[in-house]
Structure 1
Amino acid sequence: MKLLYGKGRLGSMLSWDYIESLRDLTYHRTPKARVSTIAQARRFVNTVGFCFAFTAKNSELPCLWHAACGERHPLYPEHTHSDPAIGLVWQAKDDLARDRSIYYGKAIKSRPSMISLEFFPSFYRLLDRPASSDRFMADYRAGALSPAARRIMEALCRQSPMVTFELKMNSGMSHPRKRAEFDRAMAELQMKMYVVKIDEFYDPFTFLWDLVSSRFQSEIEIARSLSLEAARENILRQYFRLRWVSDAAACRRLFNWPVEVVQTLLEQFHQQGFLRRVKIENERNEVYGLADMPEPSLYRPPGVSSKKRGRP
């Protein structure tokens, strides 16, 4: 991605407007960079590495819907079925998941997320999961997997992929009173990257589910070659390349990593010269920013539709 600024060292205090204008560029939140086709959506996910599909608060990560609108703060449409930006996101999540161009699931903060195949191994490695055929049983025995999730995994291990109704039947959760329990278990399994939705059908409306271990075999092999530290470093470096400025609290909220892990990585990046401490107008504490962030006076900002205050 080409950035529209000249070279220069950061020597002045930053404003939130300036930081958000940089994020507009990497998040594709400008009319010029707007995502309008499935091919562009695929390139967007591959460029950013990981993003939310529909919502992003306080610029926490790129969002495909924001990129499809080409705006920083788009208004959610009253009639979503006729909105072109929402329609593009819906089609992209179906098409890109179906042809295995990306990983799509509730992988980040339990929200619909898109992860490129380049970054999937790093996210999968974060699970620190043993490489055994019954690894979900290890989670269950350790109290890290619910009984409902275990039954769903057992059903998929016997036969996969399966549509939602078949999965409910085969896991003993087809009764209407089990719906909430089933939905919670599926969200749990997506967060733990055990199951993945690979297709949607609309007549009747249903999802097709598969095991992540079957769908992403080559990427999982790459994940097993990574150390946990390397996986976290890969993700956090890309996070700062996208977001420009952040702090330890924001990193912990997004990735749910231990406090000491985040602090150690940030200090390591600072010592390596990848990050530097920066001051923001009207903020008491310093935060971390990319060391090669352009000098505000040398930056030519793109046009944006609004100027709301951001967060680290």
Structure 2
Amino acid sequence: MTTLSAAQLKQYQEKTFRTTESARLRTPQQAVDFVNERGFIFFWPVKGVTMPSLWCSVAGDRPVADAHDDPGHTSWGWKDQMLDKRVWYYGRILRKRNTIISLQTVPFFYALSPNFGEPELEISDQYHAGQIPLEVKLIFEALLVKGPLDSIALRREAHLSGPNSNTPFNRALDILQRDFKVMPTGIAEVGTWKYAFVYDLTHRYHPELLDQSRYISENQARDHLVTTFFNSVGAASDKQVQSLFGWTQPETQKSIYRLIEKGLLSNYSQIGENSIFQYCLTSLLK
């Protein structure tokens, strides 16, 4: 049994999460570099999930502030500013939370998505097979026909403007983003708050993803994403990995075991004195 101290792990995560004062992000370009460095991060920290976030890399390791003038909310402006710059991929992906993914890492996510080269036909097949609700199909087809639309116009074009459509519309957008079919690509000054996302079809906004992901196998994609995750967090349990990516237990464990065989991860490391058994980067034990 190998032991990794809690202090050692905390020090590692402070470095990779950029939460110390000297390491925090201060410019939009530093934010882009950080995402490229980590592969994928959350926009805001997610309760119960250990992961780097844009908020904590700007504001430090503390909860998101309610005050709109908190300096940490600089991250909100950067996020909006970068939506149409094609410097990263943004959407509600992991745990249905806002996730920022580097353009180098997106193909590995895309390789695991239900996209095989003909999105227009695939959305119809998924609907008729009972795999997606009607609202998903309506939103996708509205964007396909009309081009990029802000959320208010999208609801109108998809015939989901009624008050009873709020939940189905939002649920459908979550599914479309999770499956890498639709993504926010800008901000429009519309509606009561003069603020709404503009959405577009992923394969139209990032057509290169089809070719970039074509020859990535499922095992290669999972192993790359798990490696990237551990490079950020240092140590985690298989349940944490499974919960984050939404994979089955066998898919998760097989990926972890392959990485153990390659020497990248160590099996069942004890973190601190509380007998918490997790996997960790082998390099942390040297």
Aligned to 1:85: 72
1:102 correspondence with 2:92: no
SS in 2 for 1:92: helix
Q: Does the CA-based 8 Å contact 1:54-1:89 persist in structure 2?
A: no
Check conservation: 1:128, 1:228, Cα contact below 8 A. no
1:58 CA drift (Å): 4.7
Give, in angstroms, the shift of residue 76 of structure 1. Answer: 2.9
Mapped to 1, the partners of 2:52 and 2:165 lie a distance apart of 35
- Shift of residue 212 of structure 1? 0.3
Match of 2:127 in 1: 140
1:48 pairs, out of 26, 31, 38, with 38
Paired position in structure 1 for 2:278: 287
SS at match of 1:25: helix
Paired letter, 2:113: L
TM-score for the superposition, normalised by structure 1: 0.85
1:95-150 CA distance string (max 9 Å, x none): 22211111111011100110010010111111143322321112212222111111
Helix, strand or coil at the partner of 2:22: coil
* Contact 2:44–2:64, Cα closer than 8 Å, also in 1: no
- Matched residue count: 281
Residue 146 of structure 2 corresponds to 159
Deviations 1:27-54 (A, max 9, x none): 1111111012111111111111101001
Pairing of 1:267-278 with structure 2 (within 5 A): 267-277=257-267, 278=269
Runs of 4 or more, structure 1, over 4 Å off, are none
Deviations along 1:173-201, one digit per CA (max 9) or x if unpaired, are: 12233222212211221111111111112
Give, in angstroms, the shift of residue 61 of structure 1.
1.3
Structure-1 separation of matches of 2:277 and 2:166:
47
Aligned-partner SS, 1:184: helix
Query: Are 2:227 and 1:237 equivalent residues in the alignment?
Result: yes
Q: Which residue of 1 aligns with 2:255?
A: 265
Q: Deviations over 1:202-225 (max 9, x none)?
A: 353222110001011112311112
Q: Aligned-pair distance for 1:271?
A: 1.6
- TM-score by length of structure 2 reads 0.92
Distance 2:173 2:54 in 1: 23
Quote how far apart the aligned CAs of 1:66 are: 0.4
Q: Which residue, out of 167, 179, 197, partners 1:207?
A: 197
* Ranges in structure 2 where 5+ consecutive residues have no aligned partner: none
1:94–1:198 Cα contact (<8 Å) kept:
no
Distance 1:171 1:76 in 2: 34
2:284 aligned partner, one-letter code: M
Aligned to 1:129: 115
Q: 1:16 aligns with which of 6, 11, 35?
A: 6
Contact 1:60-1:254 at 8 Å conserved across structures: no
Moved more, 198-207 or 244-253: 198-207
Match of 1:181 in 2: 168
More helix by share: 2
Alpha-carbon distance in structure 1 between the residues aligned to 2:117 and 2:150: 27
Cα contact 1:52–1:64 (8 A) shared by 2: yes
Aligned alpha-carbon RMSD (Å) = 1.8
Pairwise CA distance, 1:256: 1.2
Q: Percent identity?
A: 25
Indicate the residue corresponding to 1:75 in structure 2.
63
Retained in 2: the 8 A contact 1:56–1:62? no
